[in-house]
Amino acid sequence: MKSCLANSYWDRISLLQKLTEALQQSPSPAAGKPDESGMYRLFAKRLEGESAVIYIFRKGDSKPWQTLPVLVMPNDLDIAPRITKISDSAQILEVYNGRGGRHSTASYDFYVSSNGGQFIYSEAITNLAVDTLSGLEIMGDELETVSSDAGTTRSTNTRYKLVDGKPQIASREIFDGESDRKFNLTTYETYRDGKLVKSWTKKEKR
């Protein structure tokens, strides 16, 4: 994950002091907003520049279960961080960073909690979201991305499962609807352990 860049040595010292204070002086759980599951309360606090801290309280705790330093653009804490359960052993924390995706989509940093552990930044999932047309959607126990080839009617929907906290491709649907044909082509692919095991193409008249 990128580091905070300050303008001078003293700026860095000041930011370090603020971060230290934020880690030591936590708010009460009542200050946080409950997540969708009701198992956590989240409270985000701006420090300086692009730096902020997210306090994560588990249900019933009086002190933060995790204090997470994050990078967000100024004024972008208005979009509250959220936690989504992927499976019994994995959860994802989404933090809106305001930097914007490659297709003018909202941009998030993603953190993964596996087997009850604390949330850890996932560069792999964050990059998936940045590189796609519509960002990253959480669909039950899978992650879905949509990409499109520029200047064509070809689009690709890809689904991933989390394996040891990392995304692994599970299936892919490739739609090809070029205007010079009288039919559309859709190719379906299924994967096992990240490897292609089956592929077939369906032709449909327009």
Residue 77 banded pLDDT, cuts 50, 70, 90:
low
Q: Residue 88 corresponds to which amino acid? A: D
Share of the chain above pLDDT 90, in %: 19
Give the number of C-alpha atoms closer than 13 A to the C-alpha of residue 56, restricted to the C-beta side. Answer: 22
At 160 the pLDDT is 95
What is the DSSP code string of 126-166?
HHHHHTSSS-EEEETTEEEEEEE-TTSSEEEEEEEEEETTE
Asked whether the predicted pLDDT for residue 195 surpasses 90, the reply is yes
Give the sign of the dihedral formed by CA 60, CA 18, CA 51, CA 68.
Answer: negative
CA distance 192 to 13: 49
At 17 the pLDDT is 64
Provide the 8-state DSSP code for 101. Answer: -
CA distance 160 to 179: 30
| 176 neighbors 169 (Cβ within 8 angstroms) | no
Q: What is the mean pLDDT of residues 174-188?
A: 81
Residue 61 banded pLDDT, cuts 50, 70, 90:
confident
Q: Residue 158 corresponds to which amino acid? A: T
Rg (CA), the chain: 20
The helix/strand/coil state of 15 is: helix
Q: What is the mean pLDDT of residues 178-191?
A: 83
The token pair that represents 197 in the structure block:
């095991």
Q: Nearest 5°: phi and psi at 13?
A: -65, -45
Give the sign of the dihedral formed by CA 23, CA 27, CA 32, CA 38.
Answer: positive
Averaged pLDDT of the chain: 78
For 1-41, what is each residue's pLDDT tens digit?
444 444 454 455 565 666 666 666 667 767 677 777 778 88
- Most confident range, picked from 21-35, 108-122, 186-200: 186-200
Q: Residue 185 corresponds to which amino acid? A: L
At 185 the pLDDT is 87
At 16 the pLDDT is 60
Residue 182 banded pLDDT, cuts 50, 70, 90:
confident
Q: Residue 91 corresponds to which amino acid? A: Q
At 192 the pLDDT is 95
Q: 132: Cβ–Cβ under 8 A, 6 or more apart, which residues?
A: 101, 103, 105, 145, 146, 147
> Beta partners for 155?
148, 175
At 196 the pLDDT is 95
In this predicted structure, which of 3-12, 48-57, 106-115, 161-170 has the lowest mean pLDDT?
3-12
Model confidence, pTM:
0.75
Placement of tokens 């906290």 in the chain: 165
Domain-wise residue ranges, the chain: 9-23+33-205
At 3 the pLDDT is 43
Placement of tokens 């082509």 in the chain: 185
